[in-house]
Structures are given as structure tokens and as C-alpha cells.
């Protein structure tokens, strides 16, 4: 692959040529390959390469430090020059920043000098023929497959005039497949995150879909209402990611989230949910590894360019049922008088004492529902974090510890914070892939299944 | 009309395109297209009088898409050299060869006239990238300061996204297009708290295909809206909670556009009806066998698709497959009569548009393959139709709904739930103050079937979104929806605090 000039030299060039008092240059080299299929045939595909450069300039002027953030596709020194000039000019024209802090200093990643990682269509050398075979098996079994595989490798190089030279390689991938019966009246789904596709088996996934579609041979229509409901790990991930997303310290502090103690303050220190619950992030977690330092091309309500290079370690957001931290910049940490706990790109929910699998939860259920996944989740009321959404691709009736039929879909209205207060049983925590957010936003999660005795199914959805 | 930005026309896309298309042809591609894009984006965000975010980002690169051995092959790159153009063309061919093993039915595309070398520029007066950041930030800072003078307002935010999108397209058939679009997406919000509640009030201004003049030059009445927002928020914070039940709804375009988007726009994308989105965005209840028979709504319901309306976010001269854009019917007198198409679907369903695509192919950047994306799908007003006040006057027990907020709809576009910025109680034909905690929930065909009246052209407004998501890998598209104020009878209303079990 022709990457043009090396990312490190683009960083060095930018840092050296900036005329500002300080400068941070972030280069992201990203390659990806994908295959998409529908109706048992491939539909689209692609192999992409991009290089994005972000330049942040810092200028100390009367009244404070001003910053300018500019980013763009750039693969040559001349293009980086243009970004640096624009960032320097933006900083000079800016008003003093409110999130000023000392820049992080003098750290070099041991692999700084290494080339960027990369991927290509060859990552599917084994998956693609197996997929072709899965299409044939599905077709002969009266089933239709629709799905997507995506693999991306992004290598981030972060350098600064304050002596940072940090590198991180992030592989991100997933396999997801929807199966339908030929008459399109029954639908099932499987999805999994992967770092390298060595652990993806399309034929096994096809078998799982066939089994789930077979559960749908008996169909029972249920009305809206509150049901004893088993949320599998993917659905729990959908909900917990939303709670994490709105866990910014500043919005909480200023009275605008479920984590606010009004008029000004946060609920940190409060018993928020059941005491068995711990929600945490840890960049070093095996299988879910993510960037161990903060990268911020721009300051927002929830990120600060001054924080680039901050080291990240395990952070407990909820520990023993108590809210212990919110997503902070150093600026909001000062505002809220809390430790600096920046965002981390993975999320784990652990329930103390929980064991077993989804199947064990099913076996222990007299009458209830097992969901496959959730969809189209949106906030209805930030005050309670009431979310609405749908069930999707398989709601199953559990009777006497066994799955006995498929049920219609529902629209639900629930708050993740409330669910962590109300669940009756949890399974062991396992790696999982969020159906709603895993594709483009947040794919590194480990969650238990949760059983909710009175999940609010607000109305029936006729969707199949 | 503005000219194409000379800093774009100075880029080497013609040469790279010729090299890439030549290589694809040499290697045996039966179709090949080359797309070069540069998308300039600037986001400014102010919170409580302080500019928090000022971000400029450019996305620039090129893509080659081929049909080879009956399959698609797509590859993209960012290094602007002849060697890289050759490599990307070769990669697209190699990807098509992998895909051919899994593509039993060969890909074909509908014919389209050749447009040898055409340019198109959207309608705007002031390119937002020609206005200094400091001047733009000052305006947003002033907006938040004005809002914060209101007694009920604790915090205020103002933000504006600005985009200049340049596309160059060339294909083996000989079509060459060079285009430029400009759009702005301003957003202002006031936040406050009552005794045991907090809430917000957001501007009703829609994102639009205009320039900076939208924020300054009397196109939209910012002054009166900014003056009213604090009082509207104060009233909302004190408003009684809604009694759940069934109500008649008079819905303003600032809310109805989103219901159109979700329940008509997405449902009439033919790729969804054919199952291409089954693993992600979903399918559609409006399946192809229902064409010309499905009673989508009441007989006053007329919906068009277009990529031509002035200032529309989906509006452009030629789509990302070189198809000239058009206007067509989707629902006529309440019956489903059309879909949104790209060239492969135009070929598959020649009866729909005379064997031609209706120009809905779009890719959000050079790194993504074009797919069928939404046209401006719009509800038509009634000629000589009533005004909003007259519609309200026809309601005994109902709600008047303004502004969009929460939205969710199922994967076949049946069951939806929406909230809004403000809901006014209507009692005996008169507005009787705001109510809180409202969501409306319905099934698409029931809802449109319950539409008793549409307002006249004087009530028609263009709403829209700059962030419509679809496809894997995910792509974002801007789209507008025009509609009049409309009256719906007997719709289910939820109380959202009761839904939360409080």
C-alpha cells in the first residue's frame, strides 16, 4: 500500500513548522475492507484507505491561551503546511479558551517508529468462501441471509511541541448477519465483534440462524404490557452505551442529565443502582484493548485539546451500585471537584455473583420473553434517561424454562438506569457487540444478560 | 449563480480520473466510474457566551467503482498521484473478482444519457467559508447571551455546521460532472429548570441548502424567535403534564417533516423494499407487490420525491451515478405510486421510471460506495387550503405540535413514536397553553389515513436533517422535506413520565 510520506514525518513536519507557542499534530492512517450481502448474494463491497491529519495550535495572548483546530485529508508536507497555517491563524484569531491546562509532556511510545498497521480484502480469505457456502446452505434450507463484515485498522500518531510521540494501533471489526425465512415472516440475527476475523465462522452463524428461525415455527401474538424479559448481552450493551454516552460531567453538573443533582451538582457518590453492579472501562482489557491515551482534535463540551496524551487506566463509572465517576476533561474535573476521568473507548458491566449464560436464564424462567436485540433507540426524556426503541429480529416466548414460540415485536420505553435497579437475575459477563451502536460508534463491550421482571412493552410493532 | 470554487478546480481530478478509468477499461471493466470529492466542514459551538468548539475539517479523496465479471468492485484512496490512481483502479478490479464468486446474478445498470462536461452549483448568496470565524462566533455568542437574559434560562447553546461539498464524476460512457453544494445547519437551545424538572427549548429553524445569509439576512426571523424562546421555555417548565389518551393533532411543518422522513421517505426507498438494508436500517412494509394498490393514507395525501427543489438538502444537478435529477410522484391521492431508485434498481424495475433511474444515488464521501439515498420527499399542500389557525379551529380536543425532538420507528416503518419542542392543548378550536411530557405513537398507514386536512401553500415549509444515517459501512446524508401544516384525527398520546414508571 502506498501511504505516501510516513505518518511520523508528517507529525514531525507539522510540529516543527508551526509558528504557534505550542502545537499538537495527530495523524490517523486508516485502512478498511468490507463485504455486504442481501438475498443470499453479495451486494456492495469496498477497500478504503485514508489519512487524516488534525493540527491544534496554541497561542498565548493577553487574557489567556487561544487554540485553533483544523483537520483534513493530507498525505504530503505541503498539505500539512496548509493545515498548520490554518490552525495557527485560527488560534491567533480566537478568544481565550476556557479549558486551559498544562500540555502533557515528554512521553514516547516504544513503537513510535513502526509503520501503520493495515488491512485489505485478504482479511476475508477464509471468511469469503465460507460465506459463499453459507448462502448456498441457507438457500437450500429456505432461508435468506443479509449481512455485513467490516474490518478497519486505524493507526494514530500523536506528536506535540511538548515532547509527546504516541502511537496506537486500533483494529476494529465485526460480523453481523440477519436470517429470514423465505416468506419473510420470521427474522433472526447474530452479530459479533472481532479484531482480526480469525474467530469468525459464517457457517456456525448460519446454523444458529437456522435454529432461531426454527423457534419461530410456532407463532404467538402478545399484547403490549409489562413482561418478565431476558435482555441478552447485545441488548444490554445497546442500553449501557447510551447511559455512558450521556455521562458527560458538564451536562450533569449543569443540571441536564439523569446524573444531575440540581440545581448545580452531580450524583457522584449516590447509590444509583443495585449494589452488585459495576460499570467500568479499561483500555488494557484483553480482547477489548483501546487507546491508552486521550486523543482530542477539538475541544467540545466533553473533550479538551489540552488533554491530548493523558494516560488512561481502568475507570469505574459505577462501583458497588454507587455512581463513582463521569466522563471528564481536566476542565470539567476542576469545575466538579472530581478526579480526571476521561472517556475510554470500551465499556464493561459486571454483576457481582452472577453466573451462567442466557440459556441458564431461559431455563430458570417460568413464563417470559427472550429478546434477540434492540433497535432505533432514542432518548425521550433526559431527566430519567427514558429511552424508546424496538425489539428486533426475534422475540421468543419462554414457558417452563424452554423456548416455545416466536412472538411479535414491541415498542418499548425504559431507562437503563432504572433497569439496573430492577433486574432480577444476571448472567456472567461476556464480550458482546451492540446491534445499534456497534457498527460506527462503539463496538468494544462486555456485558451480562439481564432479566427484567416488568419490562415496559409500550405497544405492538407489526414489523417482521 | 456562484462559481465552482477555484481551489477545487485546481485539483488534479481530471488527470487522475483519466488514468483510473483507462486502467479499469484495460483490465476489462464493463462499467467504471471515478469520483473525486472534497468536503469542507466547519463546526462552531458556543455554550453560555463562550466559543467551545471551532473545528475545520476537510475530507478529500477519490474512488473507483467498476462492474467487472458481473460484480461491483469499489476502492478508494487519498494520495493524489497517477500511481495511486492506477493502484486504486486495480484494487477495485481485484475486489470485483473476489465478489464475483458470491454474486450469482450479474449486476446491470439502467441506461442514462451522456452529459459530456457539465457543471452545477447550488443556490446561495454568501459562502459561509468566506466569513471569518470571529464574525460567525460573535453572532452565536450574542444569541446565547440574548437567551440567557431570560429569567427561566440557566444555560444556552448555539452551534452551526457549515458544509461546502465539491464532487467531480466521470464514467466510461463519457459523462463528466463538476458540482458544488453549500449548506448550513444552525441550532440554538435554551435550558432551564423548574421545581422538580428541567427542560429545554430549541429553535425551529431547519438545516437548509443556503449560505451564511440564512443566519443574518432576513431569510429566517431569528430576532423574534430569540426574543420568544425564554418565555416559551418558562411556560413549558410550568406547564401541566399531559393526560394520556387520544387526541386530534394539528402538526406544524417543523415537526411533521421528521414524521414524513421516517414513515414515508425511508419506507419508499426501493433498496429497503428489496431487502438490501435488512441487516441494518431495515426493510419496508411498502413492498413492491403493493405498488399502485397500497392505500398509504387518506385521499388528500400527495407526496413527491425530488432532488431539484431550491435550497433542498438533497438537491443537486446530477447524482453519484451521473443521472440528471428529477421530480416524481411517490403517493398520489393516498395510493403508493413510486419509489426512490438508483441505476441498478432502475434496470431491475423498468416499469417504474421509463427504465431510467430517478437519480437517488449518493455517497457521503470519496471513501464510500454510492447507494440509493433519500430525495427531498415532500407532502403537497392543498391549493386554496386552510391556514394553521383554521385547522386549529376545527379541533375540539387536541394538540398543536411544533418542533422535532425524539424520534423512533421500527425496521419495517410501521410503528413510530415522536416527541416535539412544544405541545399546545387545543380546546374547542382555541390554543389553551402548553402541556408537557407528550409523545405521539401510531402505525404509519393508520396515521396517514387519519389525515383529514392539509394546509394551503401559505403553511408550507421546508424542514430537514443533515445527519440521516443508512448503509454499512454507515453513511450520512442531508435531506429536506417540505410540508404544510396538517390535521390528524384521533392519535394515541402517551405521557412520557408515566412511561418511565413515575
pLDDT mean for each 10 residues of chain B (502 residues):
93 98 98 98 95 91 97 95 97 94 91 98 98 95 97 96 98 98 98 89 98 95 97 97 98 98 98 96 97 98 98 98 98 98 97 96 97 98 98 98 97 97 98 98 98 98 96 96 98 95 78
Q: At residue A180, what are phi and psi to the nearest 5 degrees?
A: -130, 150
pLDDT of amino acid B196: 80
Q: Which of A26, A32, A36 to mutate to test the interface with B (most CBs of B within 10 A)?
A: A36
β-strand pairing of A445-447 with A347-351: parallel
Please judge whether B191 and A254 are an interchain contact, meaning their C-beta atoms are less than 8 angstroms apart: yes
Please judge whether B102 and A131 are an interchain contact, meaning their C-beta atoms are less than 8 angstroms apart: yes
Q: What CA dihedral angle connects B13, B18, B19 and B23, to 10 degrees? A: 140
Distance CA B349, CA B343 (A): 10
- List, in order, residues 6 or more apart from A16 with CB less than 8 Å away: none
The DSSP bridge partners found for residue A42 are A37
User: How is residue A33 written as a grid cell?
Assistant: 475492507
Please list every residue in chain A whose beta carbon sits closer than 8 Å to the beta carbon of residue B134. Answer: 93-94
Q: Which of A145, A266, A463 to mutate to test the interface with B (most CBs of B within 10 A)?
A: A463
Q: Which of B364, B440, B500 to mutate to test the interface with A (most CBs of A within 10 A)?
A: B500
Please list every residue in chain B whose beta carbon sits closer than 8 Å to the beta carbon of residue A296. Answer: none
Please judge whether A2 and B87 are an interchain contact, meaning their C-beta atoms are less than 8 angstroms apart: yes
Determine contact, residues B217/A282, Cβ cutoff 8 Å: no
Q: Considering only alpha carbons, which residue of chain A is nearest residue B409?
A: A376
- Listed in sequence order, the DSSP H helices in B43-132 are 82-100
pLDDT of amino acid A352: 98
Q: Which of A7, A32, A38 to mutate to test the interface with B (most CBs of B within 10 A)?
A: A38
**To which H or E segment does residue A216 belong?**
none
Nearest to A90 among B52, B54, B193 (CB): B54
What value, to the nearest 5°, has the Cα angle with vertex A77 and ends B55 and A73? 40
Q: Considering only alpha carbons, which residue of chain B is nearest residue A56?
A: B55
Nearest to B52 among A189, A263, A299 (CB): A299
Chain A nearest-CA distance from B2, in A, is 24
- List, in order, residues 6 or more apart from B258 with CB less than 8 Å away: B404, B407, B418, B463, B465, B481
Classified as helix, coil or strand, B236 is helix
- List, in order, residues 6 or more apart from B239 with CB less than 8 Å away: B433, B434, B435, B436
Question: Rounded to whole angstroms, what are the CA distances from B432 to A142, A368, B82, B168, B237?
Answer: 57, 44, 68, 54, 16
Please judge whether B56 and A71 are an interchain contact, meaning their C-beta atoms are less than 8 angstroms apart: yes
Q: Which of B142, B417, B493, B495 to mutate to test the interface with A (most CBs of A within 10 A)?
A: B417
B295: left (phi over 0), alpha (psi -120 to 50) or beta: beta
Distance CA A311, CA A158 (A): 13
Please judge whether A462 and B369 are an interchain contact, meaning their C-beta atoms are less than 8 angstroms apart: no
Please state at what angle helix A77-93 crosses helix A7-17, rounded to 10 degrees. 40
Please judge whether B497 and A260 are an interchain contact, meaning their C-beta atoms are less than 8 angstroms apart: no
What value, to the nearest 5°, has the Cα angle with vertex A76 and ends A75 and A80? 95
Q: How many residues does chain B have?
A: 502
Interface of B with A in 449-488 (CB under 8 A): 469, 472-474
Question: Rounded to whole angstroms, what are the CA distances from B482 to A32, A226, B86, B185, B186?
Answer: 37, 39, 44, 16, 18
Please judge whether B98 and A128 are an interchain contact, meaning their C-beta atoms are less than 8 angstroms apart: yes
pLDDT of amino acid B445: 98
pLDDT of amino acid B102: 85
Determine contact, residues A173/A151, Cβ cutoff 8 Å: yes
Question: Number of H helices and number of E strands within chain A?
Answer: 9, 21
Please list every residue in chain A whose beta carbon sits closer than 8 Å to the beta carbon of residue B80. Answer: 75
Distance CA A86, CA A119 (A): 32
Please judge whether A384 and B502 are an interchain contact, meaning their C-beta atoms are less than 8 angstroms apart: yes
Does the ipTM surpass 0.85? yes
pLDDT of amino acid B199: 95
Residues of chain A with pLDDT under 50: none
Classified as helix, coil or strand, A421 is helix
Question: Rounded to whole angstroms, what are the CA distances from A156 to A151, A291, B54?
Answer: 16, 9, 22
Question: Rounded to whole angstroms, what are the CA distances from B167 to A52, A87, A267, B115, B181?
Answer: 19, 25, 49, 15, 9
User: How is residue A255 written as a grid cell?
Assistant: 443540571
Please judge whether A72 and B415 are an interchain contact, meaning their C-beta atoms are less than 8 angstroms apart: no
Residue B145 CA, distance from chain mean position: 30
Please judge whether B473 and A150 are an interchain contact, meaning their C-beta atoms are less than 8 angstroms apart: yes
Chain A nearest-CA distance from B384, in A, is 37
Q: Considering only alpha carbons, which residue of chain B is nearest residue A38?
A: B276
Please judge whether A86 and B78 are an interchain contact, meaning their C-beta atoms are less than 8 angstroms apart: no
Classified as helix, coil or strand, A459 is strand
Determine contact, residues B446/B293, Cβ cutoff 8 Å: no
Q: Judge whether B118 is closer than 8 Å to chain A, CB to CB.
A: no
User: How is residue A309 written as a grid cell?
Assistant: 496524551
User: How is residue A77 written as a grid cell?
Assistant: 508536507
Please judge whether B501 and A379 are an interchain contact, meaning their C-beta atoms are less than 8 angstroms apart: no
Please judge whether A38 and B473 are an interchain contact, meaning their C-beta atoms are less than 8 angstroms apart: no
**To which H or E segment does residue A344 belong?**
none
Q: The whole model's pTM is what? A: 0.96
Residue B492 CA, distance from chain mean position: 26
Report how many Cβ contacts below 8 Å link chain A to chain B: 272
Q: Judge whether B80 is closer than 8 Å to chain A, CB to CB.
A: yes
Distance CA A239, CA B106 (A): 41
- List, in order, residues 6 or more apart from B6 with CB less than 8 Å away: none
Q: How many residues does chain A have?
A: 464
Q: Is the peptide bond before B323 cis (omega within 30 degrees of 0)?
A: no
Please judge whether B409 and A376 are an interchain contact, meaning their C-beta atoms are less than 8 angstroms apart: yes
Comparing CA positions, the residue from B23, B17, B34, B169 lying closest to residue B93 is: B23
pLDDT of amino acid B101: 84
Chain A nearest-CA distance from B186, in A, is 17
Amino acid at each position: 500500500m502506498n501511504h505516501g510520506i510516513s505518518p511520523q514525518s508528517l507529525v514531525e513536519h507539522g510540529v516543527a513548522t508551526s509558528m504557534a507557542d505550542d502545537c499538537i499534530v495527530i495523524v490517523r492512517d486508516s485502512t478498511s475492507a468490507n463485504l455486504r450481502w442481501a438475498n443470499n448474494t453479495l451486494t456492495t463491497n469496498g477497500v478504503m484507505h485514508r489519512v487524516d491529519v488534525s493540527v491544534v495550535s496554541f497561542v498565548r495572548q493577553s487574557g489567556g491561551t487561544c487554540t485553533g483546530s483544523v483537520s483534513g485529508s493530507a498525505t504530503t508536507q505541503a498539505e500539512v503546511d496548509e493545515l498548520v497555517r490554518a490552525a495557527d491563524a485560527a488560534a491567533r484569531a480566537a478568544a481565550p479558551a476556557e479549558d486551559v491546562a498544562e500540555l502533557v509532556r515528554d512521553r514516547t511510545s516504544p513503537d513510535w517508529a513502526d509503520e501503520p498497521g493495515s488491512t485489505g480484502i485478504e482479511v476475508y480469505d477464509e471468511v469469503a468462501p465460507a460465506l459463499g457456502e453459507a448462502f448456498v446452505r441457507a438457500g437450500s434450507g429456505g432461508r435468506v441471509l443479509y449481512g455485513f463484515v467490516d474490518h478497519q485498522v486505524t493507526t494514530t500518531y500523536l506528536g506535540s511541541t511538548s515532547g509527546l510521540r504516541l502511537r496506537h494501533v486500533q483494529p476494529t471489526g465485526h460480523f453481523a448477519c440477519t436470517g429470514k425465512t423465505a416468506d419473510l415472516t420470521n427474522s433472526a440475527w447474530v452479530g459479533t465483534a472481532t479484531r482480526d476475523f480469525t474467530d469468525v465462522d459464517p457457517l456456525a452463524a448460519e446454523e444458529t440462524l437456522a435454529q432461531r428461525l426454527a423457534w419461530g415455527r410456532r407463532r404467538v401474538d402478545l399484547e403490549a404490557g409489562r413482561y418478565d424479559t431476558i435482555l441478552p448481552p447485545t441488548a444490554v450493551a445497546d442500553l449501557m452505551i447510551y447511559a455512558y454516552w450521556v455521562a458527560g460531567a458538564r451536562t450533569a453538573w449543569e443540571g441536564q442529565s439523569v446524573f444531575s443533582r440540581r440545581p448545580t451538582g452531580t450524583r457522584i457518590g449516590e447509590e444509583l443502582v443495585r449494589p452488585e453492579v459495576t460499570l467500568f472501562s479499561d483500555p488494557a482489557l484483553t480482547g477489548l484493548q483501546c487507546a491508552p491515551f486521550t486523543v482530542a482534535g477539538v475541544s467540545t463540551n466533553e473533550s479538551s485539546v489540552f488533554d491530548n496524551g493523558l494516560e488512561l487506566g481502568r475507570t469505574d463509572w459505577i462501583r458497588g451500585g454507587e455512581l463513582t465517576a463521569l466522563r471528564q476533561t481536566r476542565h470539567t474535573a476542576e469545575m466538579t471537584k472530581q478526579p480526571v476521568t476521561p472517556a475510554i473507548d470500551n465499556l464493561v458491566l459486571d454483576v457481582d455473583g452472577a453466573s451462567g449464560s442466557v440459556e441458564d436464564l431461559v431455563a430458570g424462567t417460568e413464563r417470559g420473553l427472550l429478546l434477540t436485540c434492540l433497535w432505533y433507540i432514542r432518548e425521550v426524556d433526559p431527566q430519567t434517561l427514558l429511552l424508546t426503541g424496538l425489539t428486533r429480529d426475534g422475540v421468543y416466548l419462554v414457558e417452563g424454562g424452554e423456548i416455545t414460540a416466536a412472538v411479535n415485536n414491541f415498542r418499548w420505553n425504559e431507562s437503563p438506569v432504572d433497569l439496573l435497579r430492577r433486574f432480577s437475575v444476571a448472567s456472567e459477563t461476556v464480550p458482546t457487540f451492540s446491534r445499534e451502536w456497534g457498527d460506527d460508534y462503539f463496538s468494544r463491550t462486555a456485558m451480562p444478560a439481564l432479566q427484567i421482571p416488568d419490562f415496559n412493552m409500550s405497544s405492538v410493532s407489526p414489523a417482521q | 449563480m456562484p462559481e465552482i470554487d477555484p481551489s477545487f478546480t485546481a485539483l488534479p481530478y481530471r488527470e487522475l480520473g483519466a488514468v483510473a478509468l483507462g486502467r479499469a477499461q484495460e483490465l476489462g471493466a464493463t462499467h467504471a466510474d471515478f469520483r473525486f470529492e472534497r468536503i469542507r466542514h466547519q463546526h462552531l459551538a458556543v455554550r453560555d457566551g463562550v466559543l467551545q468548539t471551532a473545528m475545520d475539517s476537510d475530507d478529500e479523496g477519490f474512488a473507483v467503482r467498476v462492474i467487472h465479471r458481473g460484480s461491483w468492485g469499489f476502492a478508494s484512496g487519498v494520495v493524489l498521484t497517477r500511481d495511486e490512481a492506477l493502484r486504486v483502479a486495480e484494487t477495485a478490479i481485484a475486489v470485483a473478482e473476489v465478489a464475483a464468486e458470491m454474486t450469482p446474478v450479474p449486476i446491470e445498470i439502467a441506461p442514462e444519457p451522456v452529459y459530456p462536461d457539465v457543471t452545477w452549483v447550488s443556490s446561495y448568496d454568501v459562502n459561509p467559508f468566506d466569513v471569518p470565524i470571529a464574525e460567525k462566533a460573535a453572532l452565536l455568542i450574542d444569541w446565547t447571551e440574548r437567551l440567557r437574559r431570560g429569567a427561566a434560562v440557566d444555560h444556552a447553546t448555539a452551534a452551526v455546521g457549515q458544509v461546502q461539498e465539491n464532487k467531480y464524476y466521470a464514467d466510461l460512457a463519457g459523462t463528466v460532472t463538476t458540482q458544488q453544494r453549500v449548506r448550513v445547519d444552525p441550532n440554538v437551545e435554551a435550558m432551564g429548570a423548574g421545581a422538580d424538572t428541567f427542560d429545554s427549548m430549541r429553535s425551529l429553524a431547519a438545516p437548509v441548502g443556503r449560505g451564511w445569509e440564512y443566519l443574518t439576512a432576513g431569510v429566517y426571523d431569528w430576532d423574534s424567535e430569540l426574543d420568544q424562546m425564554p418565555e416559551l421555555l418558562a411556560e413549558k417548565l410550568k406547564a401541566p403534564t399531559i393526560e394520556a389518551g387520544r387526541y386530534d393533532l394539528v402538526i406544524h411543518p417543523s415537526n411533521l417533516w421528521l414524521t414524513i422522513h421516517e414513515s414515508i421517505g425511508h419506507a419508499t426507498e426501493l433498496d429497503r423494499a428489496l431487502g438490501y438494508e435488512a441487516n441494518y436500517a431495515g426493510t419496508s412494509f411498502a413492498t413492491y407487490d403493493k405498488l399502485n394498490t397500497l392505500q398509504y393514507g387518506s385521499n388528500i395525501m400527495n407526496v413527491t420525491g425530488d432532488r431539484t427543489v431550491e435550497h433542498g438538502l438533497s438537491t443537486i444537478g446530477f447524482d453519484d451515478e451521473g443521472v440528471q435529477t428529477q421530480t416524481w410522484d411517490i403517493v398520489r391521492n393516498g395510493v403508493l405510486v413510486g419509489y426512490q431508485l438508483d441505476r441498478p434498481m432502475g434496470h431491475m424495475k423498468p416499469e417504474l421510471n421509463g427504465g431510467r433511474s430517478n437519480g437517488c444515488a449518493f455517497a457521503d464521501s470519496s471513501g464510500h460506495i454510492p447507494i440509493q439515498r433519500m430525495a427531498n420527499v415532500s407532502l403537497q399542500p392543498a391549493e386554496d387550503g386552510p391556514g394553521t389557525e383554521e385547522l386549529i379551529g376545527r379541533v375540539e380536543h387536541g394538540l398543536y405540535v411544533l418542533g422535532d425532538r425524539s424520534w423512533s420507528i421500527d425496521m419495517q416503518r410501521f410503528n413510530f413514536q415522536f416527541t416535539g419542542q412544544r405541545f399546545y392543548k387545543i380546546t374547542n378550536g382555541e390554543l389553551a397553553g402548553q402541556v408537557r411530557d407528550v409523545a405521539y405513537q401510531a402505525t404509519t398507514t393508520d396515521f396517514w389515513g387519519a389525515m383529514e386536512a392539509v394546509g394551503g401553500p401559505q403553511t408550507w415549509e421546508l424542514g430537514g436533517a443533515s445527519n440521516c444515517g443508512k448503509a454499512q459501512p454507515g453513511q450520512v446524508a442531508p435531506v429536506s422535506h417540505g410540508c404544510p401544516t396538517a390535521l390528524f384525527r384521533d392519535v394515541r398520546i402517551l405521557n412520557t413520565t408515566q412511561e418511565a414508571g413515575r
